[in-house]
Structure 1
Amino acid sequence: MKIAKASRVCIAAALLVPMTLAWAQGPAAYPTKPIRLIVGFPPGGGADAVARIVAERMSRDLGQSIIIDNKPGAGTTIAAEAAARAEPDGYTVFMGSANLFGADKVLYKKIRYDGQKDFTPISRWTIAPMILAVNNDIGVKSVQELIAKAKQNPGKYFYASSGSGGAPHMAGVYFNKLGGTRMEHVPFKGGAPAVTAVIAGDAQMIFATPPSVLPMVETGKLKALAVTSEKRSPLLPNLPTVSESGVKGYDFTFWFGLFGPANLPPDVVRKLFTASQKALSDPEVVQKLAVQGNEALPSASPDEFRKWALAEGAKSKQLIEQSGAHLD
């Protein structure tokens, strides 16, 4: 009987060991292995640069590497779906933006996720203006001159973008709405060919990310008229805003933030949020992002980010609906 009792004690102890290890390696120990960050853009672009700069710094505090998984295509919806279907354990996260909250469903009718239900917002990472730049031959030196010419020639002025439904496209839709113009949209497969088209005169203007257009402005191939943010950008303090140039109320920026799948454990959210905060307050990270035209702007809390992202998403959806754009 004593032997049997001892055996039962040993068996119970053996069963307890895996449970104890599992508890020790749970949320309190997170992360215990590399984290995958899904990015809906190809390597080498502006979004990819943001992901790599922030992720590299976060990995130092988390004690695990963050591996970038580029899944471009279909306006980031391929990447978003992969992230939404991932296990909510903190080992798969997603760098998303405003189109996650409704604009994607307007553009793509076969979306199989819900931005509000299938993701856990963690923190905003960056925010950035775009630059309104024009072809030199158009002969304008200000936003007001551009609007005057466009109104004199409705439907005969064209703005290029990196693709339908993206932030550069929506910046043009918003400009038409508030400026009372009717400039036509010409989508290209990426920012580089869109900028090239404006230089060549195939389109007269572009709303572009700073890294994609500033080199052309600095070499005199394009003329920058304004930034699209409400206030002047600290990255480009000498360039006026579209709003102060006469289009009152114009404010259009693009941003990136960190999301996890729905039902991410609170402890995991807290650790990822804290690591984001530390990364985005690091002067080296701030400088690297500034070179890419981005301002480091972490959220005050995950809940604040959720509310802000939903509001930005609603604005983006409304602009998409007004544009009449759809891709399938």
Structure 2
Amino acid sequence: MNRLIHYLFLAVGLLVSIGVQAQAYPSKPISLVVPQAAGGTNDIVARLIAPSFGEAIGASIVVENRPGAGGNIGTQSVARSPKDGYTLLLTINSAQAINPSLYKNPGFDPVNDFVPLYYIGATPYVLVSPPGSPYKTLVDVVAAAKKRPGELSYASAGNGTISHLLGAMLNASAGIEMQHIPYKGVAPAINDVLGGQVPLAFASLPSALNYIKAGKLQAIAISSAKRSSAAPEIPTIAETYPDCVGEVWVAIFAPVGVSVDVIKKVQAAMEKALSKSEVRERLSAQGLDLAPVPTNKLSALLKDELAKWAKIVRASGAQLD
């Protein structure tokens, strides 16, 4: 009888311990994986929100850049990570909504491998040129491209990225043939525009805005349907070509299998972090539109984007192994 009582106490103690551990999340640092190189939109957003997110959830947030294969490598790593809430994905729609159409085998299923946790915001891309360039307006770009078909080039963050596909959309809308030059990330693309090695680039507004404000880049036009509140002086491409619209949105996902408790804690912490005026101001200053998409509609947004970009990828002829 004494032995039975002893085992009962052990069992109760184990159950209590398991219960405490389950309630203890987070009890160690959380990795926020950015599947692109430093300097891109989601990297900028991740580093701006990490301190407030960490404070709200009660743990250190470690931003980890895991670039490669257009975002596939980092995204795969999160899909295959432990389902304990300590590895989250802060990604953009070019990886989550375009890569499944662009790559024969991206290595992940954007719908079935992930749980949408939080939509942060969206931002346009901006077509830029170096100071002193003759390409100051969209009219300048289109006129030059029509005069010398196939000679005028533009840089992008890589094959199949939104910055690449926007160039393909502009080619189709304006009836021109700009040459696409892919880079491994937005930072090296911008660097070569700054250095005059390439005349134009499509870059996300957060990655280019500081250069534009400092006079190191000329902003020609942005890719949203309406002008950005962060830079209202920059015209939209849609003002001339209404069908040429594309933005990048940023959201947090977790691998399928995380507990409801973790999901609720992450969502509550993000809500609290983004309710701070100083955080919202910093994000808005970078060109991010924080107009919310409810979390329960993020899945529908992702599915809509998968269908939208699949058509554009097919029309562009882009395909990667």
TM > 0.5 fold call: yes
Amino acid of the structure 1 residue aligned with 2:289: E
Looking at CA atoms only, which structure, 1 or 2, has the larger radius of gyration?
Answer: 1
| Equivalent residues of 2:225, 2:238 under 8 A apart | yes
**Is 2:303 the partner of 1:285?**
no
Q: Compared with structure 1, are the counterparts of its residues 74 and 134 closer, same or farther at alpha carbon in structure 2 (3 Å cutoff)?
A: same
Cα distance in 2 for partners of 1:311, 1:122 equals 17
Cα distance in 1 for partners of 2:74, 2:4 equals 50
| Equivalent residues of 1:100, 1:313 under 8 A apart | no
What's the offset of the Cα at 1:204?
Answer: 3.1
Q: Which residue matches 2:19?
A: 23
What's the offset of the Cα at 1:297?
Answer: 4.2
Q: Compared with structure 1, are the counterparts of its residues 103 and 46 closer, same or farther at alpha carbon in structure 2 (3 Å cutoff)?
A: closer
Indicate the SS of the match to 1:254: strand
Any gaps of 5 or more consecutive residues in structure 2? none
Percent of paired sites with the same residue: 34
Mapping of residues 122-137 of structure 1, within 5 Å = 122-135=117-130
| Equivalent residues of 2:118, 2:251 under 8 A apart | yes
Q: Which residue matches 2:6?
A: 10
1:227-256 CA-partner distances (Å, limit 9, x unpaired) = 111111111112221112x11133211121
Q: Compared with structure 1, are the counterparts of its residues 322 and 62 closer, same or farther at alpha carbon in structure 2 (3 Å cutoff)?
A: same
Q: Which residue matches 1:304?
A: 297
Cα distance in 2 for partners of 1:14, 1:221 equals 68
| Equivalent residues of 1:56, 1:66 under 8 A apart | yes
Mapping of residues 9-158 of structure 1, within 5 Å = 9-26=5-22, 28-43=23-38, 45-101=40-96, 103-135=98-130, 139-158=134-153
Indicate the SS of the match to 1:90: coil
Q: Which residue matches 2:263?
A: 269
What's the offset of the Cα at 1:44?
Answer: 5.1
What's the offset of the Cα at 1:94?
Answer: 0.7
**Is 2:182 the partner of 1:160?**
no
Candidates 253, 258, 267, aligned match of 1:259: 253
Amino acid of the structure 1 residue aligned with 2:256: A
Cα distance in 2 for partners of 1:113, 1:46 equals 22
Question: How many pairs does the alignment contain?
Answer: 321
| Equivalent residues of 2:190, 2:201 under 8 A apart | yes
Cα distance in 2 for partners of 1:283, 1:37 equals 22
Q: Which residue matches 2:289?
A: 295
Indicate the SS of the match to 1:284: helix
Cα distance in 1 for partners of 2:64, 2:211 equals 30
What's the offset of the Cα at 1:106?
Answer: 3.8
| Equivalent residues of 1:101, 1:317 under 8 A apart | no
Q: Which residue matches 2:307?
A: 314
What's the offset of the Cα at 1:31?
Answer: 2.2
Indicate the SS of the match to 2:44: helix
What's the offset of the Cα at 1:318?
Answer: 2.7
Cα distance in 2 for partners of 1:16, 1:207 equals 61
What's the offset of the Cα at 1:269?
Answer: 1.4
Mapping of residues 168-183 of structure 1, within 5 Å = 168-183=163-178
Amino acid of the structure 2 residue aligned with 1:61: A
RMSD of equivalent CA atoms: 2.4
Indicate the SS of the match to 1:53: helix
What's the offset of the Cα at 1:131?
Answer: 1.3
| Equivalent residues of 1:37, 1:94 under 8 A apart | yes
**Is 2:320 the partner of 1:324?**
no
After TM superposition, the structure 1 stretch with the greater mean CA deviation from structure 2, 80-89 or 288-297, is 288-297
| Equivalent residues of 1:127, 1:296 under 8 A apart | yes
What's the offset of the Cα at 1:265?
Answer: 2.1
Cα distance in 2 for partners of 1:17, 1:44 equals 49
Cα distance in 1 for partners of 2:217, 2:27 equals 49
Q: Compared with structure 1, are the counterparts of its residues 25 and 73 closer, same or farther at alpha carbon in structure 2 (3 Å cutoff)?
A: same
Cα distance in 1 for partners of 2:214, 2:64 equals 34
| Equivalent residues of 2:97, 2:305 under 8 A apart | no
Indicate the SS of the match to 1:159: strand
Normalised by the size of structure 1, how large is the TM-score? 0.88
| Equivalent residues of 2:98, 2:161 under 8 A apart | no
Normalised by the size of structure 2, how large is the TM-score? 0.89
Q: Which residue matches 2:218?
A: 223
